[in-house]
Amino acid sequence: MRLSNLFFTTLRDDPADAEMPSHRLLLRAGYVRQLGAGIYSLLPLGFRVSKRVEQVIREELNAIGGQEMEMPVVHPADLWRETGRYDAIGPEMARFKDRGDRDMVLAMTHEEVVADLLRDIVRSYRQLPMVIYHFQTKFRDEPRSRGGLIRVREFVMKDSYSCDRDEAGLDVNYWAHHRAYTRIFERLGLPAIPVSSDVGMMGGSLAHEFMFLNPAGEDVLVLCEACGYAANRQVAPSTTAAPGPEDLLPMEEVHTPDATTIDALASFLGVPTSRTAKAFFVVAGDGRFIVAIVRGDHDVNETKLVNAVQAKGGIRPAQVEEILARGMQAGYGSPIGARDAVVVVDSLVAQSPNLVAGANKPGYHILNTNLGRDYQADLVADISNVREGDACPKCGGPVILRNGIEIGNIFKLGTKYTKALGAEYLGEDGERHPIVMGSYGIGLGRNVACIVEAHHDEKGIVWPAEVAPYPAHLVAIGANKDPRVTEVAEQLYAAAAAAGDARQILFDDRDDSPGVKFTDAELLGMPWLLTVSPRSLASGGVEVTERATGARSVRSIEHVTEFLEGRAATPA
């Protein structure tokens, strides 16, 4: 591709809205353009990268027996009503009516369609197991997009679905995907950490997320450097040791003016925060009022809380009036005297005697409160966040917390969707059984962005060879001084073009100064820069620069041609 003809432009200045390196560089180098909040076009360069990422995924999924297909973006709402998700999912699903006034949705994912196909096609156990996948656009009307391509509303995702006779079969496919993902991210140049994760809206019994560590990541990971333990904080068990037994002391109300925070309370009373209890008020989507109690030195993990109370439709913070109506007082709250509220007590609180808790009246707390004696719990569960330095649940060593971006996930769905839609097969035993499903996703654009996050320097992008839009970037310098420059450059370009689309290279044939060409070449980030100039010709051929290292050498035209034609791994 000749740069004089490529649909792109580079920007000298950073776009004001781009903060993450990947966002900044992909915009500046002309790979993507934004159309609206969380909606992007892929320009030819970006599209080529995306296609290369797609090909890596395709190869690895084919290698575990995946069959590629394609499912629609627009679905009849009735299909989603059958699984209950039409009502369960909120405004993030885009809904509209077609001309016949039928309710339609834009696909957020494709479990329903898969299960619908299964009930249509699968009759016998002999047709199982199998894995199908596709690359398809999803639309999720996220409340907030962010970070360039990291979190968008419209995106292409590879999603695969395993279909098995039983749990044992699902287990096999689940781990086959786990291994395939490991290979995919390795080939993409993405250091990925598989972590145990929450099953979220997908439902299911087991899930892993493949995480790319990045400060902009929206998930917090609990990692143990000693033993390799890795989990999303949403599922990492809290391990804080319970204090030793103590005699239960009598409750005593104390005046604690302006002590509306745990820190203020602890310093006012001169006690450690671990001797206090914190009340957290939320309302579940089903209307239940929940008061969650954790120790003052901990925070509530909302995902754990949602799971503990099985809150359909999630939770939202409670309003002050709602808290008062239940006999409690924000800032001085506790379950003591609470009414019409589901009391959820963190396991650690249940084991910590004589805690300071709110008196449910302004300016007062109560010393020596104890679960069971002074208030009752509807539920005792681990609902608190793991903290940096807490004991690893596996080996006991200190854990660290890191932010991560989810670049892939795998879910054991089980029979949730196939049961709802009646996707069954006739088993060897002559009985009907629901098909057992797994679902596995990788977002293409997010992966492209993460590759840039992992592979760039101050000058621009540094594509790993596996995903670079073109293997090399050819620059001709000083053509006016020596006609052989153009001649040789054209010869190299033609040799690459003749070797097929995958070998095609970028050729900067623009009438620009050397500085512009070199700067753009570095910004665009092809693995190899090939410079033809009077100087290079005088020293024997073509100057070859490796983008990643900056290492330069001069190689013969013949040698470089071997690379361009795919007969040598590198031109260096």
Partner RNA sequence: CGGGGCGUGGCGCAACGGUGGCGCACGUGCUUUGGGAGCACGAGGUUGUGGGUCCGAAUCCCACCGCCCCGACCA
Q: Segment 433-462, which members bind RNA (CB under 7 A)?
A: 441-443, 446, 459
Residue 144 near RNA by CB under 7 A? yes
Residues in Cβ contact with 247 at an 8 Å cutoff, skipping those fewer than 6 apart:
none
Q: Of 277 and 284, which has the nearer Cβ to RNA?
A: 284
Shortest distance in whole angstroms from residue 246 CB to RNA: 34
Q: How far is CA 159 from the centre of its chain?
A: 14
**Residue 11 binds RNA, judged by CB under 7 A:** yes
Tracing tokens 């000058």 back to the chain, one arrives at 459
Residues 288-307 that bind RNA (CB under 7 A): 302
Tell me which of 1, 3, 24, 34 binds RNA, using CB under 7 A: 34
- Residue 116: name the closest of 434, 417, 433 by CA: 417
DSSP, res 181: H
Min separation Cβ 248 and RNA, Å: 35
Q: What are phi and psi of 295, to 5 degrees?
A: -70, 155
Q: Which stretch binds RNA (CB under 7 A): 56-64, 357-365, 372-380, 512-520?
A: 512-520
Binding RNA (rule: CB under 7 A), the pick from 101, 515, 549, 558 is: 515
Q: Which is nearer to RNA, 197 or 504 (CB)?
A: 197
Shortest distance, CB of residue 243 to RNA, whole angstroms?
Answer: 29
Cβ-based nearer residue to RNA, 185 or 411: 411
Q: Which stretch binds RNA (CB under 7 A): 47-55, 162-170, 196-204, 321-329?
A: 196-204
At its nearest, how many Å lie between RNA and the CB of residue 62?
Answer: 20
Confirm or reject binding of residue 522 to RNA (CB under 7 A). yes
- Rounded CA gap, 322 and 477, in Å? 73
Measuring CA to CA, which residue among 147, 145, 143, 138 is closest to residue 36?
145
Omega of the bond prior to 129 within 30 degrees of 0, cis? yes
Please tell me whether residue 387 binds RNA under the rule CB under 7 A: no
Please identify which residue in 43, 157, 265, 367 interacts with RNA, judged by CB under 7 A: 157
Q: Give the C-alpha separation, 446 to 70, whole Å.
A: 21
Give the H or E element holding residue 457.
strand 456-457
Per rule CB under 7 A, count of chain residues that contact RNA: 74
The residues in 398-427 that bind RNA, with binding defined as CB under 7 A, are 406, 409, 411
Minimum distance, C-beta of residue 138 to RNA, in the bound complex (Å): 6
The amino acid present at 561, given as its one-letter code, is: T
Euclidean distance between CA atoms 9 and 43, whole angstroms = 10
- Using the contact rule CB under 7 A, the part of the chain among 150-158, 327-335, 392-400, 563-571 near RNA is 150-158
122-128, long-range: CB within 8 Å, 24+ apart, which pairs?
122/163, 122/423, 122/425, 122/435, 123/425, 123/426, 124/425, 124/426, 125/165, 125/425, 125/426, 125/427, 125/428, 125/433, 127/425, 128/163, 128/164, 128/165, 128/169, 128/425, 128/435
Amino acid present at 8 = F
From the CB of 481, what's the least distance to RNA, in Å? 6
Comparing C-alpha atoms, which of 488, 485, 500 is closest to residue 565?
500
Please identify, using beta-carbon distances, which residue of 303 and 504 lies nearer to RNA: 303
Binding mask 88-117 for RNA (x = CB under 7 A): --x-x---------------xx--------
Question: Should residue 83 be labelled a site residue for RNA when binding is judged by CB under 7 A?
Answer: no
Under the binding rule (CB under 7 A), the answer on residue 315 touching RNA is yes
